[in-house]
Amino acid sequence: MTLLWGFTAAAANSAPAIPGTSVLTGKVTAVAPFAAAQVYAKNLDRNMLYTVFTHDGRYRAPNLLPGGYRIWAEKNGLTSRHEILRIQDEAEIRLDLEMRPGPANPLTQKDSTRPGPQFGGVGGEAQLVSYDEMYPPGPGRDLAEPSCLTCHGHSFLPAHRLGRAEWHAMIGIMLDPSGPFADPGSARSITDEEHEILTDYLTEHFGPDSPPRVLRLDVEYPLDEKTLASAMFIEYLAPLHPGANLSLRSVNEPFKHRLHCPKLDNDGNIWGSNSLIGLSRVDPRTGQWSHFPIGYDENNPHTDMYGKRKGEPGSIWPHIFPHDMTIDRNGHVFWAEFQGQHLGRLDPATGKIERYPMDPEGIVVDERGVVGNIRGHSPHMAANGDVWFTAIRGNKLGKWDRRTEQITLWEIPTPHSFPYGIEIDPKGIVWFAELFGCAVASFNPETEEFTEYPALTKPCAINRLAADSKGTIWYSVYSSGRLGRLDPTTGAQKEYDVLPFSKVKASMPYGIIADHDGRIWFGDGGLGGALVRFDPDTERFTYYPEPRQADNPNLDLTRKGAIIFSTRSSNQAALGIFYPDVSKMTGYGAFR
């Protein structure tokens, strides 16, 4: 380790961009060649994690807030010693690091050879296997590839080691011609004989006694060191749940932080819907968290969102689960309840919570024929203050009217489409993704007419979408690793392979947003997780590996173009800010 320390008088020509902060620079060496190593600086006082990348072995981390720090570097099985020091007084510090083979920090462990955690990283001592070892060739694989693997990705099946009866029932739900997700004539509709063949295949290779396995992905993101060297991630880590295993994908548990949908308010803070806790807010200027519990609803259906009934061990039926959220011009926070059956509103200034029933008469029928089982998903704030939202179970598009405080529901034309992410374009047209409908759809509030645009890649699952300033709709086809583009004026569509250099569909695009320059950003849960930028003019992708293995269900954007994200699938929950060009960072407040 080499440590050189200077202060503002000696470093006037490289003074920090933000008063009161410091600059950390240095050189990273290793016993083996590397490129774009990640250098981590964890502020121990504020529980913040800064991450920058090396370029030609050098790194620069500006704008570090005062505090005690732990600093280290990692790349592909190489790691440096963790250095401990205190940074303050607008210092410029040089710290050189040497990487040697060794285990990664549990906080930042990630492995680009393993599929992303979105659908079931099994963690632990799972065996890495090839594609043919995981999915042996034969009639069963021929049925699984265009159905199970196309919709759920290559990580889902090995993470669900079930018995024959369970696999048979799951296939019946998903693929039987008379089932709720039937799509006659496609791979999502099979005969009775094929049902048995697929059941036997899944039971043999993914039964309860099958060993833990993870698909080996012999592919990496192509990285541009020069571009990455200009970037910086800042994560605000939430309190860690006791006993959390950081190698496993996070799940919803009572009292555990699991941040999902990030949103900016008018005061420079970042909010997140926070699983069974409620809502959480972090002030990025200080790292101070505030939590707003929503609580329980004893009127919830007695079967929870995982199918466990009241009284069963592990049932979470009384908990309220806010899925996504949005914030109005007055700073009021709205959320849609996946469990709780209400649209909610919080006034942070007073702490007052109001909840509006989505289906007060209890008449909405879900895809399994259960009456009164509406489940909200994603809300979006309209310019006039109305809140539009999707009901993923119940197949509805909804609107909360600000003037009347009443909710209106519309039935979506495609049955069991599972409406997911939602957006409003510059013309006021409401758009939403159909997860199992394999389409994006629009709704004209004036004519109350729906228009559906099937994806080019079928079957598929689409989760999120975004409108750019020109009204072009962009959508994430996470099941097949594609980014979609739709021109609503002409109906023209095009889909781009996020990882065109990989035979295995390792990409899992998710939360998506258009920046102020018309470029498209999305989170990708594959290959350990990344934020990905797409330039519509050049049709080129740029990949920014995330500091920790995670996926990003939703994104937000600051007025200066920084990306706001959450790390939902990591057991160390966090809200974060990503600066593609950290030289443009002028403060810690995150304003929309």
Please give the average pLDDT of every successive group of 10 residues along the chain, which has 592 residues. 52 62 97 97 98 98 98 95 94 96 87 50 69 93 87 79 91 72 60 93 94 82 96 96 77 91 97 97 97 95 90 94 97 97 98 97 92 96 98 97 98 96 97 95 98 92 96 94 96 95 83 98 90 98 93 95 93 96 96 92
Query: What phi, psi does 575 have (nearest 5°)?
Result: -115, 145
Identify the pLDDT of residue 11.
38
Structural fold of domain 302-581: Methylamine Dehydrogenase; Chain H (2.130.10)
Q: How far is CA 327 from CA 344, 464, 466, in A?
A: 11, 18, 17
Identify the pLDDT of residue 185.
52
Identify the pLDDT of residue 246.
77
Identify the pLDDT of residue 183.
60
Rounded CA separation 479/116 (Å): 12
Rounded CA separation 188/198 (Å): 12
CB 290 within 8 A of CB 303: no
Query: Is omega for the bond preceding 459 within 30 degrees of 0, making it cis?
Result: yes
Identify the pLDDT of residue 249.
73
Decide: pTM greater than 0.75. Answer: yes
CB 346 within 8 A of CB 353: yes
* Sequence-separated (6 or more) residues with CB below 8 Å from residue 301: 317, 341, 372, 373
CATH 2.40.50.100 assigned to domain 2-101? The reply is: no
Bridge partners for 342 per DSSP: 357
Identify the pLDDT of residue 498.
95
CB-hemisphere CA count at 13 Å for 261?
26
Identify the pLDDT of residue 5.
60
Identify the pLDDT of residue 16.
58
Q: Work out the number of other CB atoms within 10 angstroms of the CB of residue 461.
A: 22
Rounded CA separation 101/528 (Å): 19
Identify the pLDDT of residue 460.
86
Rounded CA separation 194/196 (Å): 5
Identify the pLDDT of residue 581.
97
Identify the pLDDT of residue 180.
60
Identify the pLDDT of residue 3.
64
Identify the pLDDT of residue 216.
80
Identify the pLDDT of residue 504.
75
Identify the pLDDT of residue 15.
47
CATH 2.60.40.1120 domain extents, the chain: 2-101
Helices marked H in 32-163: 131-134, 139-144, 150-152
Q: How far is CA 403 from CA 387, 406, 422, in A?
A: 11, 8, 22
Q: Give the SS3 label for residue 427.
A: coil
CATH 2.130.10.10 domain extents, the chain: 302-581
Between the CA atoms of 446, 465, 147 and 200, what dihedral angle is there, to the nearest 10 degrees?
A: -110
Identify the pLDDT of residue 520.
98
* Strand ranges, E, within 187-269: 213-215, 232-237, 259-264
Identify the pLDDT of residue 55.
98
Amino acid at 324: D
